């Protein structure tokens, strides 16, 4: 009886995930149409009022695009249709690129953004670079959004290394911490953070954009990469989001693999 109920619930969950995935996919086409034509309109002669209205259309369409992309991501993960990549990449360069990407946003908000990477963190690791970037961009992006003054620090350490059985590679647990000096999160809201669509304060003042799906996606991605995510926070003082992932590396390997998408000059 219990078993049948559990199977039915799981099947319903899967059906819901698949429905969401198809829906979000179908929604992409019209939203791309709206964004594309809004861009074309931007280059035509417009008066100030029309330009203001066009900006509203673009802002709303971009917010909808972000929401669709997050729903698609989460539904793929929840429907079990998600696989973690494992290929070599230069970890430090990846972290630098994420910081470079977000640096202008931090500067614009008058905030500092620094990274401290422990020397024992391996140069080249095998893992899912794009998903790691996604988690970091979400956490650092949130830190910028919810910080008024001060700054954001990313620290990276290795927690544990072990030799993989029958292999010369080693498995290592990387620990990341994203700290900010922002508004913080009340203790009674901490448990809600990693639930879908949860936003601590949805009032106009604190609602600084976002879908409320970033942290649940980050949590699922960490779990798929053999790690976990947690948070410590003091209202008015700031927050630190910790997460871990497992990667492997070849001791002594410092040679950078080709950057993704970089065409080989000699080919
Ligand atoms: P989003 O940022 O898109 O709203 P998230 O799932 O990434 O969604 O975050 C959920 C909520 O958690 C945010 O709306 C915010 O209330 C809170 N939050 C996340 N990161 C921070 C932070 N660094 N400082 C304060 N609050 C945060």
pLDDT tens series, the chain, 267 aa: 778 888 888 888 778 777 877 887 788 889 999 999 999 999 999 999 999 999 999 999 998 888 888 888 888 888 777 888 899 999 999 999 999 999 999 999 999 999 999 998 998 999 999 999 999 999 999 999 999 999 999 999 998 777 777 777 888 999 999 999 999 999 998 988 888 776 676 654 445 567 789 999 999 999 999 999 999 999 999 999 999 999 998 887 766 554 443 333 333
119 CB-side CA count, 13 A: 0
Q: Give the Å distance between the CA of 200 and the centre of ligand 1.
A: 7
> Does the Cβ of 180 fall within 6 Å of ligand 1?
yes
What pLDDT score does 264 carry?
A: 36
Which residue is it, tokens 């360069």?
Answer: 93
- CB within 8 A of 150, min separation 6: which ones? 111, 112, 180, 181, 182, 238
Alpha helices in 43-123 (DSSP H): 48-78, 91-108
> Does the Cβ of 218 fall within 6 Å of ligand 1?
no
What pLDDT score does 20 carry?
A: 76
What pLDDT score does 202 carry?
A: 60
Q: Tell me if 29 sits within 8 A of 77, measured CB to CB.
A: no
Cα torsion angle, 115, 116, 122, 123, sign: positive
Q: Tell me if 25 sits within 8 A of 72, measured CB to CB.
A: yes
Q: Give the Å distance between the CA of 103 and the centre of ligand 1.
A: 19
What pLDDT score does 78 carry?
A: 81
Taking each continuous run of H as one helix and of E as one strand, the counts in the chain are 5, 7
Closest ligand 1 atom to residue 207 Cα is 14
What pLDDT score does 212 carry?
A: 84
> Does the Cβ of 199 fall within 6 Å of ligand 1?
yes
Closest CA to ligand 1's atom 19: 142
Residue 151 bridge partners (DSSP): 112
104: tokens are 């202008």
> Does the Cβ of 193 fall within 6 Å of ligand 1?
yes
What pLDDT score does 96 carry?
A: 94
Q: Give the Å distance between the CA of 212 and the centre of ligand 1.
A: 7
> pTM value?
0.82
Closest CA to ligand 1's atom 11: 199
Determine the residue of 113, 142, 219 to mutate for testing ligand 1's pocket, defined as the one with the most ligand atoms within 8 A of the Cβ atom. 142
3-state SS string for 105-171 = HHHHCCCEEEEEECCCCCCEEEECHHHHHHHHHHHHHHHHHCCCCCEEEEEEEEEEEEECCCCCCEE
Cα torsion angle, 71, 72, 78, 82, sign: negative
> Does the Cβ of 74 fall within 6 Å of ligand 1?
no
What pLDDT score does 262 carry?
A: 37
Q: Give the Å distance between the CA of 162 and the centre of ligand 1.
A: 34
Q: Give the Å distance between the CA of 199 and the centre of ligand 1.
A: 6
What pLDDT score does 265 carry?
A: 34
What pLDDT score does 208 carry?
A: 59
Domains and CATH numbers, the chain: 2-78 (1.10.287.130), 87-249 (3.30.565.10)
Say how far apart CA 221 and CA 245 lie, in whole Å.
9
Which three-class secondary structure state does DSSP give residue 27? helix
> Does the Cβ of 200 fall within 6 Å of ligand 1?
yes
> Does the Cβ of 143 fall within 6 Å of ligand 1?
yes
């Amino acid at each position: 009886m219990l078993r049948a109920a559990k199977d039915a619930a799981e099947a319903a969950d899967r059906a819901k995930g698949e429905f969401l995935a198809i829906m979000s996919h179908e929604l992409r086409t019209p939203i791309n149409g709206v964004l594309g034509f809004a861009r074309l309109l931007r280059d035509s002669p417009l008066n100030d009022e029309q330009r203001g209205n066009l900006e509203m259309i673009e802002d709303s369409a971009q917010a909808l695009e972000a929401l669709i992309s997050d729903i698609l991501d989460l539904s793929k993960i929840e429907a079990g249709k998600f696989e973690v990549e494992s290929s070599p990449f230069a970890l430090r360069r990846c972290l630098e690129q994420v910081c470079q990407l977000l640096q202008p946003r931090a500067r614009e908000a008058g905030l500092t953004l620094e990274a401290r990477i422990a020397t024992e963190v391996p140069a080249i690791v095998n893992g899912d670079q794009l998903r790691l970037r996604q988690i970091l961009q979400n956490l650092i992006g949130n830190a910028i959004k919810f910080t008024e003054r001060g700054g954001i620090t990313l620290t990276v350490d290795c927690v544990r290394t072990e030799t993989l059985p029958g292999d010369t590679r080693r498995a290592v647990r990387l620990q990341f911490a994203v700290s900010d000096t922002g508004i913080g999160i009340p203790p009674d809201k901490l448990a809600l953070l990693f639930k879908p669509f949860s936003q601590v304060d949805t009032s106009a003042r604190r609602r600084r954009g976002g879908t409320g799906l970033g942290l649940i996606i980050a949590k699922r991605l960490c779990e798929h990469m053999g790690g976990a995510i947690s948070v410590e926070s003091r209202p008015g003082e700031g927050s630190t989001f910790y997460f871990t992932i497992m990667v492997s590396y070849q001791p002594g390997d410092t040679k950078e693999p080709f950057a993704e998408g970089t065409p080989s000059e000699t080919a």
